[in-house]
């Protein structure tokens, strides 16, 4: 058995660690990029969204290199009417690849467990403790990134802060038990939260909303976070794997989670529209209330849920007087057009902040 | 005499404006880019330099357009700004009361909503070029009509035909089909103008507060057919500023002036027109990003590099011969 999994942001790191703990041989495809795109495009139906192409490309590259089992987190949710992962599975098998698809989603846990038990003789208790370790790792990673996004542009000593971030990143990589990670996370949060920062009002703050893949994978969002941070802008982003995973593993949390989202998105969107549409609207409402000066919505071309969310976002933009810009991402290789829009939006937000009466 | 230079290098045209200290436009030119931004900028500099080189001293340069980063390196710019801001700056000076700007250029169309001279909302076409200047250009070429006469012809139509405006390719097949059915050229052209306007309002202008005074600019503003179609659809008259086709460059003059208020200009001088600029590119194989790195040589000296994500190439000392 040789396991592989497609990329999405930094999710590969905890996954590889879990594999190491469980002693499962794994293969990591190269990060999504032109290569994955080309491989995915050859098989995917016309009009497939960018995340699908990249995920499919990643899977194919891994299979070409000899992987025989593919692990996919989610993918049978509401996106692509629940057929995201099944479509990928079918396309690859039609193309002649032979492999086993492990879907980590509700209804598949028993099946996955039986497979792992048969192939690698792994006990349930081992899986549980490995997953808990991976989960904590993911939490730590999310926390470092969140702190960088939200604090870095405002800190008084950026170089020192960068050093500290790097230091904690390294320690997270080295930590090898769940308890270590827990105490490390606590220490990190306490330490970094007390970094001297300029008042939040003096920095431009932008909220990012959109579908999960575009939010988490820099290759799919033209490295927007890097760009915004380099311009000294704080980024607020609710989308995180850690917020989404519990609802995959623990079905009883789902209705509570949804009720919470519906409450936040009221009165702009009152039902789930598939994908991450509801999340985008809820997050916009929440961020808009007191935290950010503007919202940027990013989504792949043809993403229906986000198109629905966009209409709600337009309404929020008008009624709450919150600048919102929606950008459709596709296979553009050039940054110019994207940067033009970003720059113009940032100019707009900056001007509005300086002269609030004008709008 | 002190003067300021603004350059806007777009997909279709390259525009230069020279403005004096009193913010009066001294001269403006509009050249076709023809896919060769370096050549177009140099040609523009040459023409302007011959006319104004002896009479003026350039105190500030602003550049915009999709080739703004390239141009900034070629001429030595003080302000490098996106088109939306540049256009808005120009309009806020020329038509201070404007509340909505409709700008249709070669490959992009945008709407800018302004209140009290400040941009409050904008939109720009993202993944589709239907309804931009390039498309009109192409259709004029196909019908063998000079683009300058395109608009006039549209006004002569009696029954504009309905054409699908969502996609440039399908609009073209629609047009061909109508033409094969025997509709007159004027009706087809007028139909195309209406389709373009409809597409603009449904796409770029969707959900925007389109309030008068409306300003219409960009190369397409020269097309009287489009202007009339807009007025018909919106029910308001459109103001076309005097320098409608070079507004981006004009905005850059203001931006260049502002940027050099407390410093001296980085302008390389008119002689930059005669430098030998040579852009080359290569694919970096350092990581799976496979960035396409561009190198710009000025008289065989490497002056700039960009296109890499990590900064490995663009950070390298650019003085290496």
Residue B192 is part of a domain; what is its CATH number? 3.30.420.40
* Chain B: residue whose CA lies nearest to A343: B82
Residue B267 CA neighbour count, 13 Å, CB half:
27
Q: Which residues contact A19 (CB under 8 A, 6 or more apart)?
A: A3, A25, A26
Residue A26, domain member (yes or no): yes
Identify whether residues A60 and A207 lie together within a single domain. Answer: no
Q: How confident is the model at residue A302 (pLDDT cuts 50, 70, 90)?
A: confident
Tell which of B124, B255, B314 to mutate to test the A interface (max A CBs under 10 Å): B124
Q: Are B40 and B74 in contact (CB under 8 A)?
A: no
Rounded to the nearest angstrom, the minimum Cα separation between A123 and chain B is 37
- Which of residues 35 through 74 in chain B touch A, CB cutoff 8 A? 66, 69
Give the per-residue pLDDT at A358.
Answer: 46
Domain that holds residue B305: 276-321
- Answer yes or no: do B82 and A347 touch at CB < 8 A: yes
Instruction: Report if residue A130 sits inside a domain.
Output: no
Same-domain check for residues A149 and A117:
no
Q: Mutation test of the interface with chain A: which of B203, B288, B291, B292, choosing the one with the most A Cβ atoms within 10 A? A: B288
Q: Are residues B230 and B192 in the same domain?
A: yes
- Supply the pLDDT for residue A359: 43
8 Å CB contact of B121 and A351: no
B191 plus B230 within the same structural domain? yes
Could you tell me the maximum CA-CA distance found in chain A, to the nearest angstrom?
A: 67
In this predicted structure, the answer to whether residue B149 has a pLDDT above a threshold of 90 is no
Number of H helices, E strands in chain B: 9, 13
Whether B232 and B125 map to the same domain: the answer is yes
Which one of B118, B129, B294 would you mutate to disrupt binding with A, by most A Cβ within 10 Å of its Cβ?
B118
pLDDT in tens, B281-300: 888 888 877 888 888 888 88
CB contact under 8 A, A347 and B118: no
Residues A154 and A45 in one domain: no
Are the C-beta atoms of residues B254 and B23 closer than 8 Å to each other?
yes
Q: Are residues B268 and B289 located together in one domain of the fold? A: no
Higher-confidence position of A81 and B260? B260
Residue B319 has pLDDT above 60, yes or no: no
What is the rounded CA–CA span in Å between residue A122 and residue B135? 62
Q: Are residues B197 and B269 in the same domain?
A: no
Distance from CA of B110 to the nearest CA of A (A): 10
Do B139 and B73 share a structural domain?
Answer: no
Say whether pLDDT at A357 is over 70: no
* C-alpha to C-alpha distance for B99 and B65, rounded to whole angstroms: 23
Q: Output the six-digit token pair for A321.
A: 């007087």
pLDDT of residue A333: 67
| Nearest CA distance, B103 vs chain A (angstrom) | 15
Domain total in chain A: 3
Q: What is the mean pLDDT of residues B147-151?
A: 84
CB A108 within 8 A of CB A141: no
Tell whether the model's pLDDT for residue A248 goes beyond 90. Answer: no
Contact criterion met (CB < 8 Å) for B85 and A344: yes
Convert the pLDDT of each residue in B209-242 to its tens digit.
888 899 999 888 888 999 999 999 999 999 999 9
Across all residues in chain A, what is the average pLDDT?
88
Domain end point (choices A87, A122, A157): A122
> From residue A104, how far is each of A111, A114, A210 by CA, in Å?
10, 13, 22
Half-sphere exposure of B263 (CA within 13 A, CB side): 12
Can you give the pLDDT at residue A14? 92
Residue B312 is given by DSSP the state T
Residue A103 resides in a domain: yes
Whether residues A165 and A218 share a domain: the answer is no
CA of B233 vs chain A CAs: smallest distance (Å): 22
Same domain, A95 and A158: no
Task: Calculate Rg over the CA atoms of chain B.
Answer: 21
**Per the structure, how many domains does chain B have?**
3
Query: Of A148, A168, A199, which residue constitutes the final position of a domain?
Result: A199
Residue B262 CB neighbours (<10 A): 6
Which chain B residues are Cβ-neighbours of A35 within 8 angstroms?
Answer: 288, 290
> A285 with A265: CB under 8 angstroms?
yes
Residue A128 in any domain: the answer is: no
pLDDT at res. B105? 81
Region at B34 (left for phi over 0; alpha for psi -120 to 50; beta for the rest): left
Please state, in angstroms and rounded to a whole number, the distance separating the CA atoms of residues B142 and A4.
52
Measured between beta carbons, the chain B residues lying within 8 angstroms of A348 are: 119-122
As a three-state string, the secondary structure of B155-211 is HCCCCCCCCCCCCHHHHHHHHHHHHHHCCCHHHHHHHHHHHHHHHHHHHCCCCCCCC
Statement to judge: residues A211 and A354 lie in one domain: yes
User: Which CATH number do you get for residue A237?
Assistant: 3.40.50.11900
- pLDDT, tens only, B63-119: 998 888 889 888 888 999 998 899 999 999 889 899 999 998 877 888 999 888 788
Q: Is the peptide bond before A156 cis (omega within 30 degrees of 0)?
A: no
Do A260 and A242 meet the contact criterion of CB atoms below 8 Å apart? no
Same domain membership, residue A186 and residue A39: no
Same domain, B236 and B100: yes
Average pLDDT over residues A87-94: 93
Asked if the model's pLDDT at residue B321 lies above 70, the reply is no
Q: Domain end: A91, A122, A153, which one?
A: A122
For position A26, what pLDDT does the model report? 94
Tell me, what's the ipTM?
A: 0.75
Q: Do B118 and A339 touch (CB under 8 A)?
A: no
Locate A170 and state its tokens: 């390294």
Locus of tokens 């050859």? A42
The per-residue pLDDT for A70 is 94
Do the domain assignments include residue A140? Answer: yes
Check B127 against A301: CB less than 8 A apart: yes
Q: Which residue of chain A is at minimal alpha-carbon distance from B99?
A: A359
A327 and B126: CB-CB below 8 Å?
Answer: yes
The residue with greater pLDDT, A332 or A309, is A309
The per-residue pLDDT for range B33-42, each reduced to its tens digit, is: 888 888 899 9
Residue in B69, B118, B289 nearest the CB of A351: B118
Within 10 Å of residue A98's Cβ, how many Cβ atoms?
8
A316 near B CB under 8 A: no
Report the length, in residues, of chain B: 321
Domain that holds residue A301: 203-359
On whether both A220 and A343 belong to a single domain, the answer is: yes
The pLDDT of residue A247: 72
Same domain, B17 and B70: yes
Higher pLDDT, A338 or A234: A234
A57 & A79 share domain: yes
User: Highest-confidence range of A80-89, A239-248, B40-49, B306-315, by mean pLDDT?
Assistant: B40-49
Of B108, B118, B288, the CB nearest to A355: B118
Determine the distance in angstroms separating the CA of B165 from the nearest CA of chain A, rounded to an integer: 19
Strand boundaries in B49-155, DSSP class E: 57-64, 79-80, 100-104, 109-115, 118-124
Asked whether residue B102 falls in the same domain as residue B227, the answer is yes
Whether residue A12 is contained in a domain is answered as: yes
Query: What CATH number does the domain containing A54 carry?
Result: 3.40.50
pLDDT above 90: residue A107 = no
B118 CB near a chain A CB, below 8 Å?
Answer: yes
- Which residues of A fall within a CB distance of 8 Å from B292? 333
pLDDT in tens, A344-354: 899 888 888 88
- Residue in A33, A347, A355 closest to B290 by CB: A33
> Cβ atoms within 10 A of the Cβ of B236, count?
14
The residues near B39 (Cβ < 8 Å, ≥ 6 apart) are none
Whether residues A172 and A225 fall in one domain: no
Q: How many CB pairs (< 8 A) connect A and B?
A: 72
């Amino acid at each position: 058995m040789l396991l592989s999994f497609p990329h999405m942001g930094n999710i590969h790191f905890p996954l590889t660690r879990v594999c190491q703990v469980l002693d499962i041989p794994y293969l990591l495809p190269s990060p999504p990029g032109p290569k994955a795109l080309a491989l995915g495009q050859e098989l995917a139906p016309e009009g497939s969204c960018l995340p699908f192409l990249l995920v499919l490309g990643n899977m194919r590259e891994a299979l070409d290199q000899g992987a025989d089992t593919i692990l996919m987190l989610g993918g049978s949710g509401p996106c692509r009417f629940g057929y995201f992962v099944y479509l990928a599975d079918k396309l690859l098998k039609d193309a002649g690849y032979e492999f086993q698809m492990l879907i980590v989603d509700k209804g598949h846990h028993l099946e996955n467990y039986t497979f792992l038990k048969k192939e690698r003789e792994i006990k349930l208790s081992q899986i549980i403790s490995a997953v808990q370790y991976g989960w904590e790792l993911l939490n730590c990673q999310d926390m470092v990134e969140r702190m960088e996004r939200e604090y870095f542009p405002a800190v008084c000593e950026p170089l020192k802060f960068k050093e500290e971030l790097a230091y904690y990143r390294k320690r997270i990589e080295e930590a090898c038990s769940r308890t270590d990670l827990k105490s490390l996370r606590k220490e990190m949060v306490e330490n970094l939260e007390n970094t001297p920062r300029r008042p939040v009002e003096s920095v431009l703050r932008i909220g990012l909303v959109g579908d999960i893949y575009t939010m988490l994978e820099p290759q799919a969002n033209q490295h927007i976070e890097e760009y915004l941070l380099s311009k000294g802008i704080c980024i607020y982003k609710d989308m995180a794997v850690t917020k989404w995973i519990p609802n995959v593993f623990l079905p009883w949390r789902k209705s509570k989670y949804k009720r919470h989202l519906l409450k936040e998105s009221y009165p702009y969107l009152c039902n789930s529209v598939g994908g991450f549409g509801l999340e985008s609207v809820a997050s916009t409402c929440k961020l808009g209330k007191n935290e950010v000066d503007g919202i940027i919505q990013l989504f792949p071309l043809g993403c229906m849920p986000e198109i629905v969310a966009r209409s709600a976002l337009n309404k929020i933009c008008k009624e709450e007087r919150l600048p919102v810009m929606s950008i459709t991402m596709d296979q553009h290789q050039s940054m110019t057009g994207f940067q033009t829009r970003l720059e113009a939006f940032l100019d707009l937000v900056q001007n509005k902040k300086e002269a609030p009466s004008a709008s | 005499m002190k003067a300021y230079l603004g350059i806007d290098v777009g997909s279709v045209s390259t525009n230069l404006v020279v403005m004096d200290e009193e913010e009066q436009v001294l001269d403006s030119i509009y050249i076709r880019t023809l896919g060769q931004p370096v050549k177009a900028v140099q040609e523009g500099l040459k023409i302007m330099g011959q006319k104004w080189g002896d009479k003026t001293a350039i105190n500030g340069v602003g550049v915009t357009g999709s080739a703004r980063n390239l141009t900034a390196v070629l001429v030595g710019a003080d302000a490098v700004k996106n088109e939306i801001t540049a256009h808005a700056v120009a309009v806020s000076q020329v038509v201070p009361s404007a509340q909505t700007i409709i700008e249709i250029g070669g490959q992009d169309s945008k709407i800018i909503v302004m209140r009290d001279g400040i941009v409050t909302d904008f939109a720009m076409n993202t993944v589709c070029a239907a309804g931009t200047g390039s498309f009109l250009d192409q259709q004029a070429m196909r019908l063998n009509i000079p683009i300058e006469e395109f608009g006039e012809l549209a006004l002569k139509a009696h029954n504009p035909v309905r054409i699908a405006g969502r996609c440039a390719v399908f609009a073209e097949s629609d047009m061909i089909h109508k033409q094969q059915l025997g509709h007159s050229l004027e009706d087809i052209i007028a139909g195309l103008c209406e389709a373009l306007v409809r597409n603009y309002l449904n796409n770029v202008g969707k959900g925007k507060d389109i309030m008068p005074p409306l300003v219409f600019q960009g190369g397409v503003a020269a097309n009287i057919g489009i202007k009339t179609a807009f007025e018909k659809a919106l029910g308001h008259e459109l103001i076309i500023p005097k320098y409608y086709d070079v507004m981006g460059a004009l905005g850059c003059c203001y931006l260049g002036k502002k940027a050099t208020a407390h410093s001296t200009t980085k302008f390389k001088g008119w002689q930059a027109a005669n430098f030998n600029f040579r852009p080359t590119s290569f694919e970096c194989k350092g990581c799976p990003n496979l960035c396409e790195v561009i190198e710009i040589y000025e008289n065989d000296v490497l002056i700039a590099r960009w296109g890499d994500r990590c900064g490995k190439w663009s950070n390298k000392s650019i003085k290496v011969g």
